[in-house]
Amino acid sequence: MTVISIQSQVAYGHVGNSAALFPMQRHGIDVVAVPTTLLSNRPGYATIRGRVLEAELVADLLRGIEERGVVADATMILSGYLGSPAIGAAVADFVARAKAGHPALRYACDPVLGDRDRGLFVHAEIPPLVRDRLCPLADVITPNHFEFEWLCGGPAQTSDAVIAAAHGLMAKGPSTIIVTSAELTDTPPDTIETLAIERDHAWRVRTPRLPISPSGTGDLFAGLLTAAYASGAPTPDALSHAASAIFAVLERTALRGTGEMRIIESGDALVEPPRRFESIPLTAEGKPST
């Protein structure tokens, strides 16, 4: 199995490909990692070195892996943080070419745009580019709740509202939408909730809320979900596995008291989480089915 992962890369810490690469490899996946940035560390530290890469370089790398036959061997493409609008356009061109030549190839788009605390934190031209070019190409998108509401153009505060809004987005492309860090009216305050919506089905999974909020959790989740999909798991199983594995990493991180996720030392738990959280089917109205 091969996954092409197009994301940011840091020398220190775990965000972007530096969060998603090892978990996918730990699942037996050959990951072809293409960077959109090369940075010393994530934002949030006193200093940061490196830069967003030139779009021409990213496009050249993508063309180079095409020439090596990687696209023909790939099961999925995953994209995350883009860095610039020009890189976003290069990624969209690459995905469009890849899917045109290989219709069975699946594309998972993690639309890294912002969060509830900071709002949009990317270049102003990136969100509409993600909405109008990348999401229509995607089979799966994994926005957090803030990003989901931005893509939908309005609030969705209940399960049934999320399902209805997701169906609206599906009319423009993706067949599966997974909303992470959902903050709904019925979400217990001591839990983290993730919803997965397809055209005829929906599921939710809840994990305990831990007293930490490290960077890169969305990148790790997208990597774990992609690994499960690439291995042939259906959506409810992929959702359950990703939520369970990320909880194991965060639980270990909380015990260690570190600012960066303890991904490497959680290697076994990435594949076989010690605690499994099941996906619960929802009705069209957003209620647990019986």
What is the average per-residue pLDDT within 127-134?
A: 98
Q: Confidence class of residue 172 from pLDDT cuts 50, 70 and 90?
A: confident
Nearest to 217 by CA among 10, 14, 46: 14
Q: Confidence class of residue 283 from pLDDT cuts 50, 70 and 90?
A: confident
Amino acid at 135: C
CA 218/CA 225 separation, integer angstroms: 10
Instruction: Pull the structure tokens for residue 188.
Output: 């217990």
Q: Is domain 2-282 classified as CATH 3.40.1190.20?
A: yes
The pLDDT of residue 287: 60
CA 261/CA 217 separation, integer angstroms: 8
Q: Residue 161 phi/psi, 5° resolution?
A: -70, -40
pLDDT at 284 over 80: no
pLDDT at 290 over 60: no
Domain range list for the chain: 2-282
CA 191/CA 225 separation, integer angstroms: 20
pLDDT tens for 182-233 read 999 999 999 999 999 999 999 999 999 999 999 999 999 999 999 999 999 9
**Owner of token pair 């021409």:** 56
Nearest to 214 by CA among 30, 2, 41, 14: 14
What is the average per-residue pLDDT within 144-164?
A: 96
Percentage of the chain lying above the pLDDT 70 cut: 98
Q: Are 280 and 205 in contact (CB under 8 A)?
A: yes
What is the average per-residue pLDDT within 30-59?
A: 98
Mean pLDDT for the chain overall: 96
pLDDT at 181 over 70: yes
pLDDT at 20 over 90: yes
Its pTM surpasses 0.75: yes
What sign does the dihedral 245-247-253-259 (CA atoms) show?
positive
Identify any residues that bridge with 53 across adjacent strands, giving them in sequence order: none
Where do the DSSP E strands lie in 102-156? 106-109, 114-115, 119-120, 140-141
